[in-house]
Amino acid sequence: MEIHPIRTEADYDAAVAEIERLWGAEPGTDDGDKLDILATLVEKYETSHWPIDVSRLDPIDMLNYLIDEGGHTQAELAELLGSRSRASEILNRRRALTVEMIFRISEAWKVPAELLVKPYRLNAA
């Protein structure tokens, strides 16, 4: 695949397919460099075509965004929070995030803590 700006959905689809093919390439190799460049181009295209103002997300929406779009998993969240049930309770709004949880997530996932400390509604048990 020749690398060029992503201008259309077809360009985007081709770049994503190539990223999938190159996934796991060693950094510093030709394939690793190509992967880095394509990932940057795809991120720019996605940001300009499907912008999400993450500052408007509440903490639970932010966690779901990080899981759906940020390359993280609910299993990773469970590991950070100490159990799968606790992660599920948080994501289902049955338990509030604590300061310690926010700190762990912020450090591990490199997300600013201020995005996770906003008030949000809990669901009734």
- Residue 31 tokens, joined: 């394939």
Distance CA 38, CA 33 (A): 9
21-80 pLDDT tens trace: 999 999 999 999 999 999 999 888 888 887 777 768 899 999 999 998 888 999 999 999
> pLDDT of 42-55, one tens digit each?
888 888 887 777 76
Other Cβ atoms closer than 10 A to 22: 19
| Backbone torsions φ then ψ of 2, nearest 5 degrees | -85, 135
pTM of the model: 0.59
Cα separation of 10 and 122, whole Å?
41
Judge whether 29 and 22 are in contact, CB under 8 Å.
no
State mean pLDDT over 106-112: 91
